[in-house]
């Protein structure tokens, strides 16, 4: 963990003066916005000046057009599916002391725990019994969470099979590694490796991340995805924790990061996350940059339009009300049935949250089945699809499909197939009824008769007991 060697040709691509200048000097311009919206409808990524124009919108009609454009763009590229996953916290030991985090090293009253292999198997089994197929494993930054340890936990997750249940994709949220570490984790068969910069503003980053910690090294973190790519990982997830600094700056920081990765590596981020800071154990710091709900909507829509090919993840930090309002503005992935306590999926749901065992407070505590029914009622297809990853549509290959908007040709059919699996194996009767009504409507929308017949045939095969059919 101390072997901090940056990637080849590492660079600090965050231009602080430029980003501040764009925020201060860009004003809402209706004519310019029309040009930008037209560009986005052609599925073209935006430059920083164009992103700043979206962030400068203040008028109600301008915001409504922003939201409408983001809504339409998401459906054109990904269809009307929403991918579901569960975060699984492996351990909360941490050598860092980030002042906003419930895992920080100085918290003496935090309950520290790392799952044993047997406990991990039990956690995965609990998730499979609910119907989950996709996980993101989360680790504190600590020597015990080595690349070898992480790789072993990934292999354990894939090995657990309960009934028709199985984990088909394991993503990782862990500390940045050196290139050799990424190679070890990649060999275990991971999907996306996710590292959040937290904030791209250097002065603020230094304020919340003490210099005597590993995380206090801004450049080591900023370069994390470049090293991951050198280590063979071409599915990369980036993110910022909104509320530490001006939300507009961090949106521009995220887009700067996406532009850098696309330019240097030929592969942009597979996902972008945008969590807002939430209550955590011992959190008692001044947060002058709290992001309002309206600002949150604007930043989500702006990210969708700015980086049209990437998946946008809205986490369960947000309340059901906010998720319901924001999900249509370009979100493509959410977690559901979320428990953040170490070992929490084996415990009763009615015991409430326990902040001394969590990194932060969860806003949406609905069960997976409730979340799936909510999505169906909103007109979204809940999806557990992993076909792109397992068929090799990652990195440059994924970009070839996603950038021109072809990926939706696979997303909707595979969402329908994985939803059918869930309805047959796990759902309540109420959700099952609503789900099959949705599937009938979705089949009717398919104009190509051969394609419609193929998907309908696979749905019938699933009803008869077949599993893991892909389109």
CA 59, CA 178: separation in Å to the nearest integer? 46
Residues 339 and 306 in one domain: yes
Helix (H, G, I), strand (E, B) or coil at 341: coil
Residues 428 and 311 in one domain: no
Domain boundary among 402, 420, 444: 402
Residues 328 and 451 in one domain: no
Residues 126 and 223 in one domain: yes
Task: Give the tens place of pLDDT for each residue, 365-410.
Answer: 899 999 999 999 999 999 999 876 666 655 555 555 555 555 557 7
Residues 447 and 371 in one domain: no
Residues 313 and 213 in one domain: yes
**Within a domain: 7:** no
* Contact between residue 403 and residue 43 where contact means Cβ atoms under 8 Å apart: yes
**Within a domain: 193:** yes
Residues 109 and 182 in one domain: yes
pLDDT for 403: 52
CA 99 to chain centre: 23
Domain boundary among 402, 428, 445: 402
pLDDT for 388: 66
pLDDT for 1: 46
* Contact between residue 132 and residue 166 where contact means Cβ atoms under 8 Å apart: no
* Contact between residue 197 and residue 221 where contact means Cβ atoms under 8 Å apart: yes
**Within a domain: 289:** yes
pTM over 0.85: yes
Q: Domain tally for the chain?
A: 2
pLDDT for 43: 86
Residues 300 and 431 in one domain: no
Q: Residue 143 is encoded by which pair of tokens?
A: 């020597």
Residues 290 and 393 in one domain: yes
Q: What does 79-116 look like in DSSP terms, one character per residue?
A: TTEEEEEEEEEEE---S---TT-TT-TT-TTS---B--
Residues 208 and 276 in one domain: yes
Q: What are residue 334's phi and psi, to 5 degrees?
A: -145, 155
CA 152, CA 146: separation in Å to the nearest integer? 10
Dihedral sign for Cα 344, 296, 380, 415, please.
negative
**Within a domain: 373:** yes
pLDDT for 370: 97
Helix (H, G, I), strand (E, B) or coil at 172: strand
Residues 179 and 103 in one domain: yes
**Within a domain: 11:** no
Residues 298 and 357 in one domain: yes
pLDDT for 354: 56
Q: Which domain holds residue 416?
A: 408-463
Tell me which residue has tokens 């935006």: 46
Q: What share of the chain is helix, strand, coil (3-state, %, to 5)?
A: 50, 10, 40
Domain boundary among 370, 402, 434: 402
Beta-carbon count within 10 A of 16 CB: 14
* Contact between residue 264 and residue 221 where contact means Cβ atoms under 8 Å apart: no
CA 26, CA 54: separation in Å to the nearest integer? 9
Longest CA–CA separation in the chain, Å: 63
Q: pLDDT averaged over consecutive 10-residue blocks of the chain (471 residues)?
A: 84 98 98 95 93 98 97 89 96 92 81 94 97 97 97 98 97 97 98 97 96 95 98 96 97 98 95 87 77 97 95 95 96 93 75 52 88 97 82 56 57 94 98 98 94 96 95 80
CA 51, CA 49: separation in Å to the nearest integer? 5
pLDDT for 37: 95
**Within a domain: 174:** yes
**Within a domain: 310:** yes
Question: Counting Cβ atoms within 10 Å, is residue 176 exposed (0-12), middle (13-18) or buried (19+)?
Answer: buried
User: First and final CA of the chain: distance in angstroms?
Assistant: 41
* Contact between residue 372 and residue 336 where contact means Cβ atoms under 8 Å apart: yes
> Could you tell me the CATH number of the domain that includes residue 150?
3.20.20.70
**Within a domain: 69:** no
């Amino acid at each position: 963990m101390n072997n901090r060697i940056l990637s080849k040709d590492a660079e600090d691509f965050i231009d602080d003066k430029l980003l501040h200048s764009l925020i201060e000097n860009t004003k809402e311009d209706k004519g310019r916005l029309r040009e930008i919206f037209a560009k986005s409808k052609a599925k073209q990524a935006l430059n920083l000046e164009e992103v700043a124009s979206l962030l400068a919108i203040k008028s109600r009609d301008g915001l409504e057009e922003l939201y409408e454009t983001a809504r339409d763009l998401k459906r054109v590229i990904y269809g009307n599916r929403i991918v579901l996953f569960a975060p699984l916290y492996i351990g909360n030991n941490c050598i860092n002391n980030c002042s906003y985090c419930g895992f920080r090293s100085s918290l003496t009253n935090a309950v520290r725990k790392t799952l044993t292999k047997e406990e991990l198997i039990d956690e995965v089994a609990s998730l499979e019994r609910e119907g989950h197929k996709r996980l993101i494993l989360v680790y504190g930054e600590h020597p015990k969470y080595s690349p070898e340890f992480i790789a072993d936990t990934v292999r354990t997750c894939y090995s657990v099979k309960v009934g028709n249940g199985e984990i088909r994709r394991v993503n990782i949220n862990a500390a940045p590694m050196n290139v050799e570490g990424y190679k070890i984790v990649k060999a275990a068969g991971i999907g996306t490796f996710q590292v959040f910069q937290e904030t791209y503003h250097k002065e603020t980053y230094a304020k919340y991340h003490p210099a005597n910690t590993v995380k206090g090294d801004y450049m080591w973190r900023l370069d994390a995805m470049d090293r991951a790519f050198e280590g063979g990982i071409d599915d990369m997830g980036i993110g910022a924790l909104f509320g530490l600094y001006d939300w507009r700056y961090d949106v521009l920081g995220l887009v700067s990061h996406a532009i850098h990765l696309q330019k240097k590596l030929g592969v942009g981020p597979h996902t972008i996350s945008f969590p807002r800071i939430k209550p955590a154990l011992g959190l008692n710091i001044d947060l002058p940059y709290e992001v309002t709900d309206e600002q949150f909507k604007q930043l989500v829509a702006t990210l969708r339009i700015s980086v049209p090919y990437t998946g946008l993840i809205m986490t369960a930090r947000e309340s059901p009300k906010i998720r319901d309002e924001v999900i249509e503005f370009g979100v493509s992935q959410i977690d559901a049935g979320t428990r953040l306590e170490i070992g929490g999926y084996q415990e009763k749901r009615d015991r409430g949250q326990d902040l001394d065992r969590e990194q932060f407070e969860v806003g949406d505590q609905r069960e997976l089945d409730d979340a799936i029914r909510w999505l169906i009622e909103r007109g979204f297809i809940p999806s557990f699809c992993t076909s792109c990853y397992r068929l090799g549509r990652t990195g440059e290959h994924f970009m070839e499909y996603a950038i021109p908007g072809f990926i939706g040709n696979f997303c909707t059919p595979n969402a329908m197939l994985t939803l059918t699996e869930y309805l047959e194996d796990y759902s309540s009767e109420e959700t099952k009824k609503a789900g099959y009504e949705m599937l009938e409507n979705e089949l009717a929308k398919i104009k190509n008769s051969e394609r419609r017949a193929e998907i309908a045939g696979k749905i019938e095969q699933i009803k008869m007991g077949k599993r893991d059919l892909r389109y």
